[in-house]
Chain A
Amino acid sequence: MTDQPLKAIVEGALIAAGGPLTLDQLLALFGEDERPERAAILDCIRELSADYEGRGIEIAEVAGGYRVQVRASVAPWVARLWDEKAPRYSRALLETLALIAYRQPITRGEIEDIRGVAVSTNIIKTLTEREWVRVVGHRDVPGRPALYATTRRFLDYFGLRSLNELPPLSEIRDPESYFLSTNVVPTSEPTENTP
C-alpha cells in the first residue's frame, strides 16, 4: 500500500466522522490483510496536519481522538452560518463546572460550600444534559449525595486531551491581601451611602 491512498482514507474518515476518531477506530476501517501500522496512520495525521497549515481547518487531538475542525481564527465568520449565537454560559454555571472539573468527584454540597451559594438544579441539569458531567457514585454519608465528575465529552468540547491540560489553578493569594490593614481599631462613623 502506498502512502497516498492511506492518507486520503484517513483524511476522508476524519472529515466524514463528524467527531473525533481514535487510532483504534481508524485502524478498524481496514480489513485484516490491508491493515496499516499505527505509526503509518499517525504519520498520515501528521502530514495532513502540515497540509492544513494556513488553511481554514486543522487537526486537533482531543480526549476522544483526532478531529478535523474549523480554525478558531476564522470562527467569527464561520459562526455566521448559523442564526443562533454560540451559547453563553453564566458565571454560576462556569464556576460549578470548574469546581467539578478540578475537584472531581465532588458533591453538590461541597460546591456550595466553596461558592457560598446554593447550586441551582437547572445548572446541574444543563451540565448533565450537555453530557459534560455525570454522577459517578454516591458519597457514603447520610443522604448519600451524588458525586459529580466530568466526561470525555467535556474534554472534547473544550479541546482538551485530558484533565491534566486544564489551565492550572491560580496560586492561593496571600491572606493579607484580603485586608487593607491589620489595624483592629474600627471606625464608628456611619457610611455616607446610607439612604
Chain B
Amino acid sequence: MNAPRETEGIAAAVEPDLSTADVRPEPPLAIVRGAPFLTLPQDLYIPPDALEVFLETFEGPLDLLLYLIRRQNLDILDIPIAEITEQYMEYVELMRELRLELAAEYLLMAAMLAEIKSRMLLPRPQEAEEEGADPRADLVRRLQEYERFKQAAADLDALPRLERDHFIVEAAVPPGFIRRLPPDVELHELLSALREVLARAELFTSHRVEKEQLSLRERMSQVLERLNGGGFARLTDLFDPSEGRPGVVVTFLALLELIKSSVLELVQSESFAPIHVKLREFSPATTA
C-alpha cells in the first residue's frame, strides 16, 4: 500500500481499506505527473505542498468530494472538523499566492461539511425528524446533480467527433468550373457611389475658382464697360450663366457695389416688369 505508483492522475492511486472504518489506513504515496511524493487526500485536508496540483486535478470541491466518497470511501459525516478547519485556515495564507477564488470554493465546502456535521450532532426535535429536515439533503442533491454531468461530459468526450475520429472528405473540383457570381448591386449602393463621385467633383470645382477670374473690381469694370454706350441694359443680361454660380454671385456683388457707390441705378417700370440697369447721369465716373 505504501509503494509509490505511477498513475494517470490522482484518482486511481488508492485502494479503499474497507476493514478499517475507524482506523484510517496509512497515507499512501503516489507520483503525480512526475511531481514529488504527495499524500493523497483521505479527507478534505490537502497538504499545502500538493494544493496546487490538486486545484488543477479536480474540477472543484464537488469533484474532490466525489472522489473522496467513491475512491477513498470517506464518510463525509466522519470528518474531524476542528482539525480540518485549523488546517484550512493555514491555507488562507497560502492562497494569497494561488488561485484565491478557487481556493475559496474549497473552503466553502469545508464550512458546509462542518455545518452539516454540527447539525447532525445536535439532538433534533421530534417534528424535524421528517425527510426534508436532513441537513445532508442539499449537499447530496448537489453531488447527484454534479455526478450526472460529470458523466455526461465523459460521454460527450467519448462521442466520435471531427478532427479526432472522423475527417471530412474533400475532393478538389477541376479548375474552370467554379464560377464566382458577381454580387447583386443594390440601389442604395449605387447612390452612395454617386454621392462619393459628386463629393469628389465638388472638391475639383472649388479648386477651379481662381482669384483673378472672379475679381469683384474687374467685374465692376466689365459691367460699367457694357453700360458705357448709355441707355438701359436688362439686369438679367448682365449675368453670364455659363460662368456658373460663383460668376453669377460676383456679378451680382459688383452690381450691388456699383449701386451702393451711386454709379448705377435700377429701373423698373412696374411690378414684376423686367429690371433694367443704367448709369446715373450725374455720376462723376461717367465719361460722356
* Residues of A participating in the B interface, judged by any CB pair closer than 8 Å: 12, 15-19, 57, 60, 67-72, 75, 78-79, 86-87, 89, 91-92, 94-95, 97-99, 101-102, 114-118, 156-160, 166-167, 169-170, 172-173, 175, 178-181, 183-184, 186-195
In the complex the two chains form, what is the Cα distance from A170 to B161 in whole Å?
21
In the complex the two chains form, what is the Cα distance from A122 to B13 in whole Å?
31
B155 touches A191 (CB 8 A): no
- CB neighbours of B39 from chain A (8 A): 193, 195
* Residues of B participating in the A interface, judged by any CB pair closer than 8 Å: 21-22, 24, 26-27, 39, 41-43, 45, 47-48, 59-63, 69, 73-80, 83, 87, 101-102, 105, 109, 117, 120-121, 136-137, 139-140, 142-173
- CB neighbours of B151 from chain A (8 A): 169-170
Among A117, A156, A190, contact of B60 (Cβ-Cβ < 8 Å): A117
Count the A-B residue pairs with Cβ separation under 8 angstroms: how many? 194
User: Which among B139, B145, B165 has the greatest number of chain A C-beta atoms within 10 A?
Assistant: B165
A115 touches B60 (CB 8 A): yes
25 contacts between A and B (CB under 8 A): A16-B172, A67-B168, A72-B165, A72-B166, A75-B164, A92-B59, A94-B157, A98-B153, A114-B142, A115-B60, A116-B105, A118-B105, A167-B158, A175-B144, A178-B69, A180-B74, A180-B75, A184-B121, A186-B79, A189-B22, A191-B43, A191-B45, A193-B45, A193-B47, A195-B48
Given contacts A170-B148, A170-B151, 18 further A-B contacts (CB under 8 A): A15-B170, A17-B170, A68-B169, A89-B157, A116-B60, A117-B102, A160-B159, A166-B152, A167-B158, A170-B152, A172-B144, A179-B76, A181-B21, A184-B77, A186-B117, A187-B80, A191-B24, A194-B45
B121 touches A178 (CB 8 A): no
Among A68, A97, A157, A195, contact of B47 (Cβ-Cβ < 8 Å): A195
B169 touches A70 (CB 8 A): yes
- CB neighbours of A15 from chain B (8 A): 169-171
- CB neighbours of B137 from chain A (8 A): 175
- CB neighbours of A159 from chain B (8 A): 159-162, 166
Minimum CB–CB distance for A93 against chain B, Å: 9
In the complex the two chains form, what is the Cα distance from A157 to B166 in whole Å?
9
Among B24, B78, B156, contact of A180 (Cβ-Cβ < 8 Å): B78
A180 touches B167 (CB 8 A): no
B170 touches A91 (CB 8 A): no
Given A180-B78, A186-B77, CB of A157 within 8 Å of CB of B162 = yes
Minimum CB–CB distance for A80 against chain B, Å: 12
In the complex the two chains form, what is the Cα distance from A59 to B122 in whole Å?
64
A75 touches B166 (CB 8 A): yes
Among A87, A115, A193, contact of B146 (Cβ-Cβ < 8 Å): A115
In the complex the two chains form, what is the Cα distance from A173 to B160 in whole Å?
27
Which are the 3 A-B pairs with shortest beta-carbon distances? A117-B60, A116-B62, A86-B164
B149 touches A98 (CB 8 A): yes
In the complex the two chains form, what is the Cα distance from A133 to B218 in whole Å?
75
In the complex the two chains form, what is the Cα distance from A78 to B154 in whole Å?
24
Among B139, B162, B168, contact of A68 (Cβ-Cβ < 8 Å): B168
- CB neighbours of B102 from chain A (8 A): 117-118
Among B45, B159, B171, contact of A12 (Cβ-Cβ < 8 Å): B171
- CB neighbours of A91 from chain B (8 A): 59, 150, 153
Among A57, A114, A190, contact of B149 (Cβ-Cβ < 8 Å): A114
Given A89-B157, A169-B152, A191-B42, CB of A115 within 8 Å of CB of B59 = yes
B75 touches A181 (CB 8 A): yes
- CB neighbours of B142 from chain A (8 A): 114, 116
- CB neighbours of A173 from chain B (8 A): 144, 147
Closest-by-CB residue of B relative to A182 is B77
